[in-house]
Amino acid sequence: MDKLARIMSRNSEDTRRRILEAGTAEFAAHGIAGARVARIAAAAGCNKQLIYAYFTNKEGLYDAVYDAMVTHTVESVPMDPLDLPGYAGSLFDHHRRHPEFARLTLWFQLERDPRAGPTPAGLRSVGAKLEAIRDAQDAGAVSTRYAPEELLLMILRLSSMAGPGSGEAAYPGRSPEDFRRLLVRAVSQLTGE
C-alpha cells in the first residue's frame, strides 16, 4: 500500500471513530428517534453525507454504536466462568464508569423492534458466555440449579442494578459500594451449590 493510500485509510478510520463517539453521546442523550444526524455530524466534524456513506441511515449508525459498546464491554470486562461473582462486580464497576452505555441499552430496549433480535456483537458475546458457563457447570464449578441462559440473564440484570440515574442509585443510606457488595453476594448464592 502506498503512502497516500495509508493516509486515506487512517483518515477514514479516524472519521469513523469520531462519528461513533459523537453518535454514542447523541443516542445516549436523545435515543434513536430523538437523535439528529446533523448534530452527530457537527460533533464529529464531518458532513451528514459521510455518515450515510458509512452507515446507510440513522438506525445503521445506532446499530454500529451499540455493537461498538457491546464489543468495548466484552473486551474491557472478560468473563471468568469460575468467578462469576467477580465478573458481576467488574461489570457493575464498568457500568458506573460508562453511564452512557446504560442509557444506550435502555433506548435499545425501548425503541428497537424486539423481533430484530440482538446485534452481531451481542450474539457473539452471549454465545461465548453461555458456552463458558455450561462448561463450568459440567465441570462442577458452578451450580446447575439454573440453566446457563437463566444464570447469565440474572447476572447481567443484577450487574446494572443501582446504575447512575436509576431509582436504586438514589436509595437513602446505600452507596454504590453497598450495592456492589450485595450484587457479588447474590451472584455467589446463585452460582454456588
| Residue burial 166-178, b: 16+ Cβ < 10 Å; e: rest | beebeeeeeebee
Q: What is the pTM of this model?
A: 0.84
Q: Is residue 154 part of a domain?
A: yes
Q: What distance in Å separates the CA atoms of residue 185 and residue 187, rounded to the nearest whole number?
A: 6
SS3 label, residue 129: helix
- The per-residue pLDDT for 152 is 95
Residue 129 lies in a domain: yes
Q: Is 38 inside a domain boundary? A: no
Which H or E run includes 124? helix 120-138
CATH classification at residue 93: 1.10.357.10
Contact 50, 95 (CB under 8 A): no
Q: How many alpha carbons lie under 13 Å from residue 106 in its C-beta half-sphere? A: 15
- Is residue 185 assigned to a domain? yes
Q: Is the pLDDT confidence value at 9 over 60?
A: no
Does any domain span residue 40? no
Cα within 13 Å of Cα(184), Cβ side = 14
Q: Is there a domain that residue 113 lies in?
A: yes
Its domain, for residue 153, covers: 58-191
Q: Measuring CA to CA, which residue among 184, 89, 79 is closest to residue 136?
A: 79
- Cell reading at 116: 430484530
Tell me the angle at which helices 48-55 and 58-76 cross, rounded to the nearest 10 degrees: 70
Examine residue 46 and state whether it is found in any structural domain, yes or no. no
Query: What are 125-147's pLDDT values in tens digits?
Result: 888 999 999 999 999 999 999 99
Q: What is the mean pLDDT of residues 60-89?
A: 94
Domain count, the chain: 1
